[in-house]
Structure formats: C-alpha cells, structure tokens
Amino acid sequence: MKNAYVTLLAVSLLTACGRTEKKQDEASPSSTAATESTPAPKPQNCLSIIEKDKLGKSNEYQESAKSIKVTLTLDQDTSTMPTAQGCYFNNSVTVLATKKSGSRVFKRTLLKDDLLYFTKIDEPIQKAILQNAFYKPTFNGQKYITLTMRLKEPGSKKTMDYTVYMNYFGEIVKVK
C-alpha cells in the first residue's frame, strides 16, 4: 500500500513539474516578443556638468592603516534633470573596495538620490547634479570608508559637499 502511494506521489510530481516547464516555455516567446517590439528611448540632447574626458576614469586610493584599496569611477547616468537652461545628465559614482590580495570587498553604485534617505532637507539635492566624488582618508583602522560627494546646482552654479560614511558591506551608515 505504501509503494502505491509513493508511486502515485512520484508520478503526480513529475507530471506537475513537466506542465510548469511547458507553460514557462510557452510564455517566454511572447514576453520576448513584447520586449523586442517596444522601441528603445531615444537619447536627448542634454548637457553634462562634467567634461567627457573625466567620465569613466578610475581614481584609486590606498591608506596605510587600512587593508583595502578604494576605486572611485564617475559615470554618466541614464536619467536626466530638466532645468530652465535645458536638461542635464545625472551622474553616478561606482565605489569598488578590494583587499590587498585583489579579492572584492564590495562594489556599489551611488547616486545623488541615495543621499535623500539620510538628510532632512531634500530640495537642494533634488535640484543638483553629482559633480564629483572624493575619497576622504580617515588615518585609522576603523571599518568604514569616508567619501565626499560634491553636488552642483546647474542654474546657480552653487556647490554642496556631503560626507558619506560607508561600512565594508557597501551600506551607507551616515551622511553629514
């Protein structure tokens, strides 16, 4: 009697698994056809705050008291910000922390919007564009990384600096 139940259970599981795979196979061509039929958004003629030769270049920082190396790469983001003078491309910074052996500690891409979760006044950040990011040395063996994110408001050319404290997991701990 137990063998009949086990056999019935095995047959029903195999049948159920086979049906879900077939349904997924049938659903995938229609989903890919839907994504292929939608045209990609056309790039706008927006301005950039940063010169093209500075984008995509990596800046490496190493402290003698810390066993990690931090690499900052500033890139142009796909999002834009409309202003009275036209529109501007937003920027992002990729933070890559590696050990001296070369193994990765973490990799994180930061946007100016990441600062909104840690500040009380959001309006200046929303009107500004990320201009640059710098590594700020701490000269101690503490387990956090300090970055300075410089934002620039395109209309008034006003700059704001925010200090970002990140732990070794790539999480923002505090913003000043």
Query: 18-52: per-residue pLDDT in tens?
Result: 654 444 455 545 444 444 444 444 456 788 888 88
Q: Where are the beta strands (DSSP E) in 19-171?
A: 58-62, 68-83, 86-99, 104-110, 129-135, 144-152, 159-167
Please choose, from the candidates 73, 77, 67, the residue with its C-alpha nearest in 3D space to the C-alpha of residue 102: 67
86-100 b/e with 16+ CB inside 10 Å = b? eebbbbbbbbbbbee
Structure confidence at residue 19 (pLDDT): 53
The domain spans of the chain are 57-175
Structure confidence at residue 20 (pLDDT): 47
More confident residue, 140 or 166: 166
- 2.30.30.830, 2.40.128.510, 2.60.40.10, 2.40.50.320: which CATH number matches 57-175? 2.40.128.510
Report residue 8's pLDDT band, with 50, 70 and 90 as the boundaries. low
Mean local confidence (pLDDT), 159-164? 94
Strands 58-62 and 68-83 turn out to be antiparallel
pLDDT digits (tens, 9 = 90+) for 88-120: 899 999 999 999 888 999 999 999 999 999 998
More confident residue, 42 or 167: 167
Check: pTM over 0.85? Answer yes or no: no
Report the run of H or E that residue 26 belongs to, with start and end: helix 2-37
* Residue with tokens 């050319």, as numbered in its chain: 157
Which region among 2-6, 68-72, 92-96 has the lowest average model confidence (pLDDT)? 2-6
